[in-house]
Amino acid sequence: MGMTPAIDMTTALGPLTLASPLVTASGAFGYGMEYFGAVDYSKLGAVTAKGIRIDPWPGNPMPRHAEVPGGIVNAIGLQGTGVAHFLERTLPFYSIRVLRPLGRPLPLIANIWGGSVEEYAEVAKRISEGAGGVVSALEMNVSCPNVKSGGHTFGQDPSVLFNVVSAVRKATTLPLLVKLAPNVQSIAPYVKACEDAGADALSMINTIPAMVIDVERRKPAIANVTGGLSGRAVHPVAVKTVFDARKATKLPILAMGGVYSARDAIEFFLAGADAVAIGSAMFSDPSVVAKTYDGIADYCARHGFGSVRELKGALEV
Amino acid sequence: MIEEIARVEEHEDEGNGYRRLVLSAPSVAADAAPGQFVHIKVPSLEESALRRPFSIFDAGDGIVTVLYKTVGRGTAALASVRKGEEVSVLGPLGRGFPAKCSGTALLVGGGYGVAPLYFLARKLDCPKILFVGGRSAPDVLALRDFEKIGVEARVATNDGSLGGKGFVTLPLDEETKRLRETGGKFEFFTCGPDGLLRAVSERALALGVPGWISMDRHMICGVGACYACVQKTVRGYSRCCIEGPVFPAEDLVWE
């Protein structure tokens, strides 16, 4: 795989240009710097930071996760230190620990969430005004299954979704992604709501609501009782969601859910994705980034594609 | 922190489900400090399985050693790894024990919790005493290792099959009493089950001496990215993998 012919690996999520089609998924990569040293950053197109809210948020009690066959059920609960800390402390650290040694820009996508439409708009505004060019795009989390007063409530009704995306759209000129849940009757009305509200791209999927029971203790394995399933098991669900969304829109799609290999990523491209994010796979194998990147380039070469962008829509149904 | 492909040099059965895994991992070994851990990808588990964190029992000369107990699916699978095989090691990770101790270091270990205390004992340049406890004699580990480096060990087992009968806090309390009577300074360094950690934390706070508490938590990423392995502290939920695993006793909030 070392002698990969020159494949054009650039892609775009609307106005956001990516040097690689691989991105990290929010929640799986901290604030972009924690894995430095173990991940080949040269093969990433962007990193997505963990969810950011106006004020600090404690997250859920322990235990916060359970390993299951083919994945992880987690209920971290969006623990975070708030937007001020993100802007004043986290971003400078990201510049020093990642951008400086890397010697080139690496787009940072800030994932945002809130408990109300106003909070979503406010955090978007604060980051747009205060990130000093380090944040390249925003990703709205409207689909976290683990926080009651935010997250998924905005992503389970297309008219509510339209309102919150519209409010954030007015609050920022940064490229705007909206991260959708797979557990809806049909993805099309949600896609349409985001499109109508002015989103630049869509992210999908978030984790799938799930539960694990410790039968010995006859108690839920996670303190939050329920959580969200990620990992290998969700991949076919995610592929179908991307496939359905692609039929409903021309908006760029950042696809995620169970990418452990180039094969998994290529499925997403063929289903209609423009870029692919890696989440849970990072936990078991940080070298998944380099392996997936090389594998995609190798696949393109073997199948006569000069650019990764040509894979999009190359599915024969 | 790097990912290093390590060769298994030795993998010994220490009885009662305990094993000693000796890895050739020069880069991790060179950077490792006492109290840090390694995050190991268990080769015989499915590709997507999470890594498992292990305290570093010893590191140096290109070698990293861990001492563990088979307690679940991951460690049971790790137990089948043979000499000569390769495993992916992420490390060294976490914030370990301080490198200095003022007075006598009281090292308090329960079960496989003695693991990080050996590396610590080897590195600390001060008088030290090991207090080691377990349910029964086979749960008291690495006594010979400590003996070889000249660290006196005081042993307690719940069933009295080795050392004194009862909790390891009994001989520990005797020693702190003696040290206080003679005006000797001391600090606590501990790793083991939560009950022991809490007991040692409470003693450190009550006596007004430093207590360095190494938490053992299930982890996902091991590098501070996922926020799964948190412990309640005075700052809120702190990540054991990067803000710990070693915390000062006064930071911990027990529930």
| Mean pLDDT taken over chain B | 97
Q: Report the percentage of chain A scoring pLDDT > 70.
A: 96
Q: Considering the domain boundaries, does residue B36 fall inside one?
A: yes
Q: Interface pTM (ipTM) of the complex?
A: 0.94
pLDDT of residue A144: 74
CB contacts < 8 A, A to B, total 88
* Number of structural domains in chain B: 2
User: Is residue B189 located within the same domain as residue B66?
Assistant: no
User: Is residue B64 located within the same domain as residue B8?
Assistant: yes
Higher pLDDT: B177 or A143? It is B177
| Number of helical H runs and strand E runs in chain B | 6, 16
β-strands A108-112, A47-48: how paired? parallel
pLDDT of residue A132: 82
Angle between helices A158-171 and A188-196 (to 10 degrees): 30
Nearest by CB to B230, from A35, A64, A282: name it: A64
Q: Which residue does chain B place closest to A231, by CA atoms?
A: B48
Q: What average pLDDT does this structure show over B143-169?
A: 96
Higher pLDDT: B130 or B16? It is B130
Is it the case that residue B11 has pLDDT exceeding 70?
Answer: yes
- Confidence category of residue B233, pLDDT binned at 50, 70, 90: very high
User: Is residue B54 located within the same domain as residue B123?
Assistant: no
Q: Considering the domain boundaries, does residue B57 fall inside one?
A: yes
Interface contact A58-B221, CB threshold 8 A: no
Q: Considering the domain boundaries, does residue B78 fall inside one?
A: yes
Structural domain boundaries, residue B185 = 104-251
Q: Considering the domain boundaries, does residue B115 fall inside one?
A: yes
Interface contact A37-B1, CB threshold 8 A: yes
CATH number where A138 lies = 3.20.20.70
**Beta-carbon contacts of residue B52 (< 8 Å; ≥ 6 apart):** B39, B40, B42, B74, B75, B78
Structural domain boundaries, residue A274 = 11-60+78-208+231-311
- What does the pLDDT look like over B72-104, one tens digit per residue? 999 999 999 999 999 999 999 999 999 999 999
Most A CBs within 10 A among B38, B47, B48, hence the mutation to make, goes to B48
Backbone phi, psi, residue A41, to 5°? -65, -20
Q: What average pLDDT does this structure show over B38-61?
A: 96
Q: What is the 3-state secondary structure (H, E, C) of A273-290?
A: CCEEEECCHHHHCCCHHH
CATH number where B153 lies = 3.40.50.80
Q: What average pLDDT does this structure show over B202-221?
A: 97
User: Is residue B114 located within the same domain as residue B214?
Assistant: yes
Is it the case that residue B69 has pLDDT exceeding 60?
Answer: yes
Q: How far is B140 from chain A (nearest CA, A)?
A: 27
CA gap A207, A278 in Å, rounded: 13
pTM of the model: 0.95
Q: What average pLDDT does this structure show over B156-172?
A: 96
User: Is residue B136 located within the same domain as residue B241?
Assistant: yes
Residues of chain A with pLDDT under 50: 1
CA gap A118, A81 in Å, rounded: 19
pLDDT of residue A1: 47
Please, where are the H alpha helices in chain A? 83-85, 91-94, 100-102, 117-130, 158-171, 188-196, 235-248, 262-271, 281-284, 288-302
Is it the case that residue B166 has pLDDT exceeding 70?
Answer: yes
Is it the case that residue B23 has pLDDT exceeding 70?
Answer: yes
What 3-state class would DSSP assign to B26? helix
Q: Considering the domain boundaries, does residue B99 fall inside one?
A: no
Structural tokens at position B251: 């930071």
Interface contact A34-B3, CB threshold 8 A: no
Taking the Cβ of residue B143 and every Cβ of chain A, the question of whether any pair is shorter than 8 Å is answered with no
Q: What average pLDDT does this structure show over B181-194?
A: 96
Most A CBs within 10 A among B42, B226, B229, B239, hence the mutation to make, goes to B226
Helix (H) or strand (E) holding B28: helix B26-31
> Strand A71-74's sheet: what is its strand order?
A65-68, A71-74, A226-230, A208-211
Q: Considering the domain boundaries, does residue B50 fall inside one?
A: yes
